[in-house]
Amino acid sequence: MDERFLEGRTALVTGSTSGIGLAIAQALGGAGARVALNGLGSHEQIEAAVASVCQAGAPQASFLDANLADPAAVETMMQALAGWGPADILVNCAGVQHTAPIGEMPAATWDKLIAINLSAAFHTMRLALPGMVGRGFGRVVNIASVHGLVASVNKSPYVASKFGLVGLSKVAALEVAGAGSRDSGGVTVNCVCPGWVETPLIEPQIAARADQHGGDREAGVRALLAEKQPSGRMSLPSDIAATVLFLCRREAHNITGSAIPVDGGWTSQ
């Protein structure tokens, strides 16, 4: 298989200053795509992320600054992207988490999680999909979660946002299903639904479990996995990136509207 199959393509990966998004940006760059990064972080963190994507093989990498909680900022980011190179690949990966029972969930936290985890993806898709349809090729990959397929306690806005993201992706997939051809690669919209992945996002949940085991972090990780993820193994961000990369291949033209679990069996139970 051609390892540089994304030469000449342009990608935007939101939430790519850290964790899964950064690994996806590196994987797309490694396959030859020009990559626009986005996310929060210090100047040094952003510079290091952009440099790592170039080092992975991207012919060009650029940072598009936008707080995705703000729809106007998303629109400005998408205008800047259109000027840099029309988006052939859009990966909505930015996401935040907050755990508390519904009765204790701050209303502002609900609004924030829905805005970043769900509404931002709507805004990037509504602005990117028409161009993809016109060009006959496009890939939208939304990083949902097992929590887009099944629920867990204390995650009301997170689960609602991820179920919403899965539903939104299915609607979009249907709307653009007939665009392009088998040769051009068509336009597809899918979700990837990870179980536990080793990133900063889940550190507070690991810390809470570690506290129940005398501060032993490894015991905390084992307890989290034992509860839900039958493989007993966490994914690495690069494992999730490999699935996203496959969805970007021309051969994946008929995989659309799917929500692909990468969860060690979590959602098979």
Q: Which one, of 30, 36, 38, 40, lies nearest residue 6 by Cα?
A: 30
Is residue 67 a contact residue for ligand NAD (CB under 6 A)? yes
Size of the site for ligand NAD (CB under 6 A): 28
122/130 Cα distance (integer angstroms)? 13
Candidates 39-47, 98-106, 169-177, 209-217 — which segment interacts with ligand NAD by CB under 6 A? 39-47
Q: Is 158 a catalytic residue?
A: yes
| Active-site choice (17, 21, 50, 158) | 158
260 binds ligand NAD (CB under 6 A): no
CA distance linking residue 234 with residue 128, whole number of Å: 32
Place of tokens 């993809």: 132
Cα 96 to the center of its chain, rounded Å: 11
Pick 157 or 194: Cβ nearer ligand NAD: 194
Residue 43 lies near ligand NAD (rule: CB under 6 A):
no
Distance from chain centroid for Cα 206 = 21
141 binds ligand NAD (CB under 6 A): no
CB of 40 to ligand NAD, least distance (A): 3
Instruction: Give yes or no for residue 15 binding ligand NAD (CB under 6 A).
Output: yes
Which of 13, 50, 68, 128 lies at the binding interface for ligand NAD (CB under 6 A)? 68
Cα distance between residue 216 and residue 224, in whole Å: 13
DSSP state of 99: -
How is 232-254 classified by DSSP, letter by letter?
Answer: --PBPHHHHHHHHHHHTSGGGTT
Contact letters for ligand NAD, residues 92-121 (x by CB under 6 A): -xxxx-------------------x-----
Instruction: Tell me if 194 contacts ligand NAD by CB under 6 A.
Output: yes
Q: Do the Cβ atoms of 163 and 111 come closer than 8 Å?
A: no
Catalytic residues: 158
The contact set with ligand NAD (CB under 6 A) reads 15-21, 38-41, 67-69, 93-96, 116, 143, 145, 194, 196-197, 199-202
